Structure 1
Amino acid sequence: MKKIPTYSGTLRSHLLAVPHCISECSGIRIFGRRIKSLVFTTDVAIIKNVNGDAIIAVYPFTPQPSIAQAIISVADVPVFVGVGGGMTSGSRSVRQAEYAEHQGAFGVVVNAPITDETITQIKHVVDIPVIATIISSEMDVAGRVRAGADILNISGAARTPEIVVKIRKDFPDIPIIATGGPTEEDILRTIQAGANAITYTPPSTGELFSVRMHQYRAQFHPE
């Protein structure tokens, strides 16, 4: 095993770290960068203080260029931007994707309800990867691939590993990003199923600050 010298400083010694087991996956090389871990957040404070290889910025609102720009301007790593596919779809998603590329996004993520036609239209206007979200093994994955999806983003909750297994069997060479789950065992199971990269959901700012406040209070009211 290689010995890796490490420097963490004092003020940044409590940065968020993605689970170490994610290093077991192969990663996906995009524009020369090897990406194994994608942090699922739009919180700029977390984005600035986490060691993931990339950020996946997907949120439950209509995609807005100003949000994408704020995240890209803060991040020190590649950002993959959500451009809709559910409530926001069709030509609006196409325009969002084109604008995201101009802003510096490394790729665009489309939601599960998007049509194959819209994926094809997006591919006609961008030169960054289109990442199609797959939430069930019953979805027409072949249709997504034919339409131009470059990478699949598997998000099937507890069923993610079995979905990955099925898709990997049918598409041995397609790059797969998948949600890893809450434990290292879950993450390793997803990697063993065939995922090339893992999406990690960090604790919220509120959760992290709750721990810190507890530590502060203990200094003044020791038990």
Structure 2
Amino acid sequence: MQVKKIKHVPEIKGALRNHVVEVPTCIRECSGIKIFGKRIKSLLFTTDVAIIRNTNADAIIAVYPFTPQPLITQALVMAADVPVFCGVGGGITQGKRVVNLALDAEFKGAMGVVVNAPTSNEIIRRIRETIDIPLIVTIVSQCEDINERIGAGATIFNVSGGKNTPEIVRKIRKEYPEFPIIATGGPTEESVMETIEAGANAITYTPPAAGEIMGELMDKYRGI
């Protein structure tokens, strides 16, 4: 009987950069997705450059509720010291502009692009023909035609179905045992583990707002 050795992982922190947004440690239990040789298990869902510079997440998923702008993409990629997956529209923003934004994101150094759930299969197909980096398609419902999305050129699914996320992941995994899936993990370690056990390869974690973090810090200062 072999006894598995516990590996010692040395950790180095600076005096000024030891206060960071840490993702739940249970995310390390998922398999991860290897992209261009880099294994990614945790993705932080944010566009806040201060948080982007102060996190232990493997990557950043930067999707925001406005029309994507190349200047924002450039700022996010420049600020990050980890891979960035940029939103390029597909909801409010449609058509050729989405394709152009995806190509621009690749040129600016994004590791992948993310399109919203309403994006048509035709646009997904045109993006796939244009870029070489992964195309991440957002799935929000069990009613989504997964086969059509894969056929159109989706590289990875980003499952964001709220409380139904584990069930959606489970359904996709049953039909496509090896297709890469990123999924939102929810607010607790229990919800994260449920999503991992359902079959997610990587987990998206939403950090506290910068204002909330600052509030906690100010409470600490006031107590001095």
**TM bucket by the smaller chain?**
over 0.9
Residue type at the aligned position of 1:38: L
Runs of 4+ with >3 A deviation: none
Report what 1:36 is aligned to: 41
Any residues of structure 2 matched to 1:104-123 within 5 Å, and which? 104-123=109-128
Report what 1:8 is aligned to: 13
Any residues of structure 2 matched to 1:49-60 within 5 Å, and which? 49-60=54-65
Distance 1:95 1:16 in 2: 33
Report what 1:47 is aligned to: 52
The normalised TM-score by structure 1 is: 0.97
Q: Count matched residues.
A: 219
Any residues of structure 2 matched to 1:58-69 within 5 Å, and which? 58-69=63-74
1:89 correspondence with 2:94: yes
Distance 1:149 1:7 in 2: 38
Deviation at 1:75, TM superposition (A): 0.1
Distance 2:10 2:86 in 1: 33
Deviation at 1:179, TM superposition (A): 0.1
Residue type at the aligned position of 2:56: N
Pick aligned residue for 2:194 from 189, 194, 202: 189
Residue type at the aligned position of 1:70: A
Report what 1:209 is aligned to: 214
Indicate the SS of the match to 1:62: coil
| Unpaired stretches in structure 1, ≥5 consecutive residues | none
Indicate the SS of the match to 1:145: helix
Distance 2:123 2:115 in 1: 10
Indicate the SS of the match to 1:177: strand
Report what 1:99 is aligned to: 104
Indicate the SS of the match to 2:82: coil
Report what 2:3 is aligned to: none
Distance 2:80 2:191 in 1: 27
Deviation at 1:9, TM superposition (A): 2.2
| Unpaired stretches in structure 2, ≥5 consecutive residues | 1-5
Any residues of structure 2 matched to 1:14-33 within 5 Å, and which? 14-33=19-38
Deviation at 1:204, TM superposition (A): 0.8
Indicate the SS of the match to 1:80: strand
Deviations 1:54-78 (A, max 9, x none): 0001000000000010000010000
1:139 correspondence with 2:139: no
The normalised TM-score by structure 2 is: 0.97
Distance 1:91 1:9 in 2: 46
Report what 1:77 is aligned to: 82
Distance 2:128 2:53 in 1: 30
